[in-house]
């Protein structure tokens, strides 16, 4: 990554090893400085826009938690009416809470209306800004403060919401998944998304050292393992044509999912005090089934 003139300037207050910070930098590097950023309430917002400072070297607006897509719709409409729409990118960057859950309605509205906005969901698989509560993006068996494992619980008991499919079902021009370890793939997708004639959605897996319980120097490694194990396949879909979903990064040989689980403290209850092989096997089976569909 280039060190000179990062559009998200160093000195922001994001945690060491934050996947979202890396994602935002990569995204902006690909989008360039003619980009207006719309951000809902969340980690990224509170850590980058603390008055009277700002980490943003591009125009930035935050309105509230559940409405980034609606606010971005307004930005799109205004630029059109000002005759300034051409050559300007609008990128909304929300977390999984603001996208999968509380912001889903506004997001669906923005997709359906066809606003030319690239919506990037930086998914760290729980409400990290409030301190690691589960969201509908939290994966099966993960610990969070509101999906604690216990005598009657293995942690989160539901599967992750298929947000990419939900986006694609709107028939929007471009939907993709990405993660920070595969930055060339991610940045290529950002460029494709921005050149789409309408809404685009990129679901970016952004590991969170604090919430996933791994050392901050292992963010990229965890991100890579998510792809190599098949937990988070990288794909793209055009015009909602899910039948022709294209895998963009194919791991040469899928690693066992246990490798991905074992490096994260949020799954530690699957390994100690005694190993819960049945749960690990169940997760492996879920991943196998998914990967079979994708041919990976």
Partner 1 sequence: MAKMILEGNQALAVGAKLCRPKVIASYPITPSTHIPEMLSEFVANGELDADFINVESEHSAISACIGAQATGVRTFTATASQGLALMHEILYVASGMRLPIVMGVANRSLSAPINIWCDHSDTMAERDSGWMQFYSENNQEALDLVIQAYRIAEDERVLLPAMVTIDAYTLTHTFEPVDVPSQKEVDEFLPPYKPVYAILDPERPITQGSFGTPEYFMEFKYSQQKAMERAKEVIDEVFREFEEKFGRKYGKIEPYRTEGADVILVTLGSMSGTGKEVVDQLREEGAKVGLIKVTVFRPFPAEELREAVRRAKVVAVIDRDISLGFSGAVFANVSASLINEEKRPLLANFIVGLGGRDVRPEDFREIVDKSFRILEAGRVEKPVEWINVSGEVP
List interacting residues with partner 1 (CB under 8 A): 33-36, 38, 45-46, 49-52, 54, 56-64, 66-67, 69-82, 84, 88, 105-106, 108-109, 112-113
DSSP calls for 92-112: EEEEHIIIIITTHHHHHHHHH
- Residue nearer to partner 1 on the CB measure, 191 or 250: 191
Which residue's CB is nearer to partner 1, number 57 or number 158?
Answer: 57
Nearest to 20 by CA among 189, 185, 206, 183: 206
- Nearest to partner 1 of 33, 217 (CB atom): 33
Residue 238 to residue 205: CA distance in whole angstroms: 20
- Smaller CB distance to partner 1: residue 75 or 180? 75
What CA–CA distance (Å, rounded) separates 120 from 122? 6
Q: Whole-angstrom Cα distance, residue 155 to residue 144?
A: 7
CB of 211 to partner 1, least distance (A): 20
* 140: preceding bond cis by omega (within 30 degrees): no
Smallest separation, CB 292 to partner 1 (Å): 36
Question: Would you say 223 and 179 are in contact if contact means Cβ atoms under 8 Å apart?
Answer: yes
- CB of 183 vs partner 1, minimal distance in Å: 23
> CB of 98: closest distance to partner 1 in angstroms?
12
Cβ proximity to partner 1, 112 vs 288, nearer residue? 112
DSSP 8-state class, residue 196: S
CB of 106 within 8 A of CB of 66?
Answer: yes
CB of 168 to partner 1, least distance (A): 19
């Amino acid at each position: 990554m280039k060190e000179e003139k990062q559009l998200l300037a160093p000195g922001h207050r994001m945690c060491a090893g934050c996947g979202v910070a890396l994602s935002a930098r990569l995204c902006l590097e690909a989008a360039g400085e003619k980009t207006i950023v719309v951000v809902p309430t969340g980690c990224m917002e509170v850590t980058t826009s603390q008055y009277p400072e700002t980490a943003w070297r591009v125009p930035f607006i935050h309105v509230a938690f559940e409405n980034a897509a609606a606010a971005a719709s307004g930005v799109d409409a205004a630029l059109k009416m000002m005759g300034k729409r051409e050559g300007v990118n609008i990128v909304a960057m929300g977390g999984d809470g603001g996208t999968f859950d509380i912001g889903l309605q506004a997001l669906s509205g923005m997709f359906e209306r066809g606003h030319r906005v690239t919506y990037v969901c930086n998914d760290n698989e729980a409400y990290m800004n409030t301190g690691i509560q589960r969201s509908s993006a939290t994966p099966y068996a993960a610990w969070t403060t509101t999906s604690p494992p216990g005598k009657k619980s293995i942690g989160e008991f539901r599967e992750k919401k298929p947000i990419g499919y939900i986006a694609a079902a709107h028939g929007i021009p471009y939907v993709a998944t990405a993660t920070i370890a595969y930055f060339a793939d991610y940045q290529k997708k950002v460029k494709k998304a921005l050149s789409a004639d309408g809404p685009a959605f990129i679901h970016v897996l952004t590991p969170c050292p604090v919430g996933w319980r791994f050392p901050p120097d292992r963010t990229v490694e965890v991100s890579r393992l998510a792809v190599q194990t098949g937990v988070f396949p990288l794909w793209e879909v055009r015009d909602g044509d899910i039948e022709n979903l294209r895998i963009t990064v194919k791991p040469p040989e899928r690693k066992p999912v246990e490798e991905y689980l074992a490096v994260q403290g949020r799954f530690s209850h699957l390994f100690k005090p005694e190993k819960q092989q049945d749960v690990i096997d169940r997760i492996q089976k879920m991943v196998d089934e998914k990967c079979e569909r994708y041919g990976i």
